[in-house]
A = this chain, B = another copy of it.
Amino acid sequence: MTLTSGAETSRTRTELRIVEAARSLLASGGAEACSMRAVGERAGVTAAAIYRHFRDKQALIDHLVARAYENFELALLRAIAPLPVGSFERLAALGEAYLAFATENPEEFKILFTPLPGKRKRLRDLPADGGYPILRQCAVEAIREGTVRDGDADLISLFLWSRVHGLVMLLMACDFEGDIDLAGELTPASLFRQTRDLVLEGLAPRD
């Protein structure tokens, strides 16, 4: 069963070329442009050969998704690393990193979070649980530190997540240019910053 390193790298090499071809096609032209034949051609291989490495197209996509989640988690962790535990800046940096990842890798982000017909992805099945534990941990720390008012950490986490997620998905789906004139730009990041104190201070007028 032991393979020589030569054989192993040979197998690995085409598989890597397939994955890289699929990733770049996906990123540039969306899922639509990522056909098996196109992937094969870019990888220098027949479409049928891909089936020696992945059971079907979905398995190939799943592999890309898993890789994307790892990069996603990495981006989140890097963003919060230098910031003080329990600070609101840490939570804000998490949101900014989320927006940055979605903005810089829109097609990958869509694959991560576009709802499929019928079956939702179980959070626990995702690599790194979709990054949720990081958010939750930051929420717990912020509550403990008194940065954020006392409350259920899951509820606050989902509140923050859905807000950031909504900004991204809304601006990915719709172009508001010309319909809304706002001080800042109409980007997720700009809206995120402009509404930061709405999140902190709430909508109700202070008494």
Contacts and interface: CB of A to CB of B under 8 A. Distances in A.
A141 to B, nearest CB: 14
Nearest to A198: B159
A114 B114 contact: yes
A120 B124 CA distance: 31
A55 interface: no
Most chain B C-beta atoms within 10 Å of own C-beta, residue among A32, A122, A165, A205? A165
Contacts of A202: 149, 198-203
A156 interface: yes
A167 interface: yes
Per assembly, the copies of the chain total: 2
Contact of A148 (B116, B163, B173, B205): B205
A162 to B, nearest CB: 4
Interface on chain A toward B: helix, strand, loop, or mixed SS? helix
Given A129-B179, A163-B163, A115 B155 contact: no
A82 interface: no
A148 B110 contact: no
A151 interface: yes
A123 B166 contact: no
Given A148-B203, A148-B205, A166-B170, 19 more contacts: A32-B117, A88-B203, A115-B173, A116-B173, A120-B171, A120-B172, A123-B179, A129-B179, A132-B179, A146-B205, A152-B183, A154-B182, A155-B191, A155-B198, A159-B195, A159-B198, A165-B166, A165-B169, A169-B169
5 contacts: A30-B118, A120-B174, A122-B177, A123-B176, A155-B198
